[in-house]
Amino acid sequence: MQNRYALLGLILSLATTAFAQDTVHTSVSADVFSRSAHFSAAPQFLQGQVVAGSPYSAEETQTTVQTLADGTHITHLASTGRLYRDSAGRTRTEHSLLLSAAARKQKADVPVIIEIIDPVEHVKYTLDNVNKVAHKQVVSAVHTKKHAAEHAQVADEEAPKTIHEKLGNQTMEGLRVEGTRYTIVYPTGSEGNDRPMTVVHESWWSPDLKVIVISTDNDPRNGESTRKLTNVDRSEPDPSLFVPPADYTVVEEKGDFTIKWGSEK
């Protein structure tokens, strides 16, 4: 059964990679009640090529919409953030963790995951903006497009029926974008389903910035998830965004580490 998800997983991972400015985000498991997050060791440096010469900044939102059996729609704002990239290909991502209703009622500070990846110095910083600590990791350049293509070839041998469509060109957020839709149909019984099940992934890619401006995943098991860039600014970001602040303590990380934003209950 695991192989049945391989192609879909590849599509979504490639879309996420492009959306995240061709960088790998350290895996994060954040508990908003304990206000802590665990970060894995030795992250790969790149999922694709460094994008130089195309600076920009933008706001990012991710929302999910669940449809209940009675037709009720529940909309969740899953995360918000900002993305930056300079002319050298350095990237900075800021994602605010959404607190529980109880935490919001107590007016708790919203933790922010800040990651800086510097392909020039071959380092990655994860910033703890509460304790003013910059967790530094040395990372190596890895080009994995060939591996991804090989993985797709193997996965396709056992994949459900997949339809690939080009959706033409549009203008979004002042950018020319190219649309692509993948429709994956799972045959009856392939996942315990009593009728064919359809999963749709749609993305709008900017050839100029080499990022996905809007990405939508519609899966009947999970609902509809949308990631979107807004307020795109193509000017050069402030260079100070790509280095730890002067008042931060830099800690060299050789293994896994955990950031805690408050006392655990």
> What pLDDT digit, counting tens, does each position of 205-231 carry?
999 999 999 999 999 888 889 999 999
The model's pLDDT over 37-62, given as tens digits with 9 standing for 90+, comes to 656 554 444 445 688 899 999 999 88
**Cβ proximity of 256 and 39 under 8 Å:** yes
- State the pLDDT at residue 135: 93
Residue whose structure tokens are 């990846």: 117
Residue 29 has pLDDT above 50, yes or no: no
What is the C-alpha separation between 237 and 240, in angstroms, rounded? 9
Question: Which residues constitute the domain of residue 185?
Answer: 2-260
Count how many domains the chain has: 1
pTM for this prediction:
0.71
Comparing 25 with 46, the larger pLDDT belongs to 46
- State the pLDDT at residue 49: 67
What is the C-alpha separation between 160 and 234, in angstroms, rounded? 40
Average pLDDT along the chain: 75
**Mean pLDDT value of segment 101-106:** 51
Inside any domain, residue 265 = no
Distances (CA, A) of 103 to 31, 94, 115, 246: 11, 20, 24, 31
Inside any domain, residue 202 = yes
**Cβ proximity of 141 and 119 under 8 Å:** yes
Inside any domain, residue 8 = yes
Dihedral over Cα of 149, 183, 161, 12: its sign = positive
Residues forming beta bridges with residue 73, ordered by sequence position: 67
What is the C-alpha separation between 232 and 236, in angstroms, rounded? 12
Question: For position 77, which CATH number holds?
Answer: 2.50.20.10
What is the C-alpha separation between 53 and 118, in angstroms, rounded? 14
Inside any domain, residue 160 = yes
